[in-house]
Amino acid sequence: MVNAYEYFKNHPKFNKLVGNDFLFVEYKCPLNIEEYQLWVENHLITYVISGKKDWITSKKTHKLTAGDTLFIRKGVYTTRQYLDSDYCVMLFFINDKFIKRFITENPSFKRESNSLREYNQIFDITTNDAFKTIIESIFHYLGQGEDIPKELVEIKFKELLFNIVLDSNNKELLLFFNSITQNTKTDIENIMIENFQYDLKIADFAKLCGKSLSSFKREFKECFNTTPSRWLINKRLEHSKMLLVGTNLTVSEIGYECGFKNNSHFIQAFKKKVKLTPNKFKALKKEL
């Protein structure tokens, strides 16, 4: 599974501007890629210049065409590319530090946020002509590469965020920005619950939470009173039980949906925990 942030940051072929807490990229997608899964360790704003693409979550499919803009929270996603037209976008990666600093420096944007509230994984962003003018100015800077001071690029990025949060149609996104400033343990809990079913390494989950591996393991233990590996196995197995009883998916399909590397690993882990094979568990539940 591709880490989109690392891919764009390190690949030499893309026009990009790299800062300490942000990354701008101009991306033209090749037509031979139709559907793939990726994960992003930093939040992403994507603005479509041309073409069509779907961003897919467990709850909704967001269909993008030219002129559309999304805010995509860090996490795992499936994307679908339409092969009948070239797809070109501007990508803006930002981490939690940048968002916290932006809200802190602008107290008028502070809002009361409920720490127990669930936020969408993807937010549709309403834009205006001023937003597109900012995009065009950033696009011109991209062609100059490293000659542009990072301080100037950061100013343009803040200008972009100002334009977004000043629009009342984007108030849900502003509330999410404020929730990031709380920096509570619920951040780890939310990220793990939203992404446990994906085959990521523990180090990848640490990146999603914006933590070093050692800090992540320590705070995870404080939050869940167990290790990340044990929690993931138990969470995936509990999810597999629901799928075995509530769907017509095969055992191998369920193992894949729950984040197990292969079918034998899933069956072995399930049998060790439940004392039954997945098929026998399913048959027993049907009898009951």
Is 70 exceeded by the pLDDT of residue 31?
Answer: no
CB 259 within 8 A of CB 199: yes
- Cβ-based neighbours of 108, under 8 Å, separated by 6 or more: none
282 phi and psi angles, rounded to 5 deg: -65, -45
Mean pLDDT throughout 235-261? 91
Given a cut of 80, whether residue 58 has pLDDT beyond it is no
As given in the structure block, the two tokens for residue 276 are 């039954």
91 in Cβ contact with 27 (< 8 Å): yes
- What pLDDT, on a 0 to 100 scale, did the predictor assign at position 187? 74
Q: What is the pLDDT of residues 241-253, one digit of tens each?
A: 999 998 889 999 9
Q: Which domains does the chain have, with CATH numbers?
A: 2-182 (2.60.120.810), 184-288 (1.10.10.60)
CA-to-CA distance for 241 and 28, rounded, in angstroms? 41
User: What is the pTM (predicted TM-score) of this model?
Assistant: 0.82
Region 27-31: mean pLDDT is 72
> Crossing angle of helices 228-246/278-287, nearest 10°?
50
The residue ranges of DSSP E strands in the chain, in sequence order, are 2-3, 15-18, 22-29, 35-40, 43-50, 53-56, 61-64, 69-72, 75-81, 87-94, 122-124
At residue 154, the pLDDT reads 87
Confidence of residue 145 (pLDDT cuts 50, 70, 90): low
- The Cα–Cα gap between 69 and 127 comes to 8
Q: Is 224 a residue whose pLDDT tops 70?
A: yes
pLDDT bracket for residue 81 (50, 70, 90): confident
How many angstroms separate the CA atoms of 48 and 53, rounded?
9
